[in-house]
Amino acid sequence: MADLTLKQALIADPQARNPELARALAADHELQQLQRQLLLDQLSIKQALEFKVPETLPLKLLRQQMVLSQQTQQKRFAGAIALAASIAFVAGLTLNWFNYGYPQMTLGQHALAHVYHEAPYMEQMLAPQPLHQVNLKLASLGAELSDWQHSILFANFCDFRGTRSLHLVLQTEHGLATVFIVPAGNKLKFEHHFADETYRGRSLALKTADIVVVSENDADLQQLPAKLKQQLKFI
């Protein structure tokens, strides 16, 4: 159970600009789930209040939160966080909202939300992952990666709306790329291409899983999906 003080600090600052809070997040799965909820709660404000705004606004808000300073962030989003908390109370929302409460969320939106959620402390988590260890995790999804040349710097399970999935970060010739392996039958609307002001993504619908690639580099989106389709084997 995460310490109440840490939870209160995270509610006040979902982006975890405080280094101590970021370290606590990196080590505590429950805090990570709470942070995901707080970030995605902000996406739900538009739908809950039925505002007619552009569909890209929630992801733009996430991007703004990541680049603004803590002081500016607190001024701009304190009211939104309080409103989201109020809406959650009235509607009876709980942590399960993250998985079940946003019916129109797409596979791409969920992937981008994950990338932004991990960004504050991802650098601390990056370390070379031996391929055999990655394959041990892939095996639980009925998959295996063979003859893979790119370095894998992060491999961990994550939750895609109630579907246990695998989150990978790869080192490519162009930088870092994020890959999500999401078992088929997930409850997210599939989309082949998606983007916001920073990231672009491409999804592949394979027989037993959806593969989602997210990167800032167009070259990664042109190369990685084909490589993964060829070298990720499903048993």
- Decide which of 56 and 226 is more confident: 226
Tell whether 118 is covered by a domain: no
Do 67 and 148 belong to one domain?
A: no
Please give the tally of structural domains in the chain: 2
Q: pTM score, two decimals?
A: 0.60
Do 98 and 130 belong to one domain?
A: no
Do 143 and 96 belong to one domain?
A: no
Is pLDDT above 80 for 96? no
Q: Is 94 helix (H, G, I), strand (E, B) or coil?
A: coil
Tell whether 129 is covered by a domain: yes
Is pLDDT above 50 for 118? yes
Do 95 and 132 belong to one domain?
A: no
Q: Which residues of 170-202 are buried (b: 16+ CB within 10 A; e: fewer)?
A: bebeeebbbbbbbbeebebeeeeebebebbbbb
Tell whether 194 is covered by a domain: yes
Count how many Cα atoms sit within 13 Å of the Cα of residue 83 in the half-sphere of its side chain. Answer: 13
- Asked which of 104, 136, 152 is the last residue of a domain, the reply is 104
Structure tokens at 102: 């946003």
Cβ count within 10 A of residue 218: 10
Give the pLDDT of residue 93: 38
- Decide which of 85 and 135 is more confident: 135
Do 35 and 88 belong to one domain?
A: yes
Contacts for 20 with CB less than 8 Å, ≥ 6 apart: none
For 13-50, the pLDDT digits (tens) are 766 677 777 777 777 777 777 777 777 775 566 555 55
Do 92 and 171 belong to one domain?
A: no
Tell whether 111 is covered by a domain: no
Tell whether 112 is covered by a domain: no
Q: Rg of the chain over CA atoms, in angstroms?
A: 18
Structure tokens at 167: 């989150």
Domain that holds residue 95: 4-104
Tell whether 181 is covered by a domain: yes
- CATH number of residue 157's parent domain: 3.40.1000.20
Do 143 and 100 belong to one domain?
A: no
Q: For helices 107-125 and 29-49, what crossing angle results, to 10°?
A: 150
Do 159 and 229 belong to one domain?
A: yes
- Asked which of 73, 104, 135 is the last residue of a domain, the reply is 104
> If pLDDT is split at 50, 70 and 90, which confidence band does 60 have?
low
Do 46 and 97 belong to one domain?
A: yes
DSSP-assigned letter for residue 51: -
Do 222 and 146 belong to one domain?
A: yes
- Decide which of 150 and 92 is more confident: 150
Tell whether 153 is covered by a domain: yes
Is the Cβ–Cβ distance between 212 and 108 less than 8 Å?
yes
Tell whether 198 is covered by a domain: yes
Do 131 and 230 belong to one domain?
A: yes
Do 99 and 21 belong to one domain?
A: yes
For 43-52, the pLDDT digits (tens) are 566 555 554 5
Residue 221 φ then ψ, to 5°: -70, -20
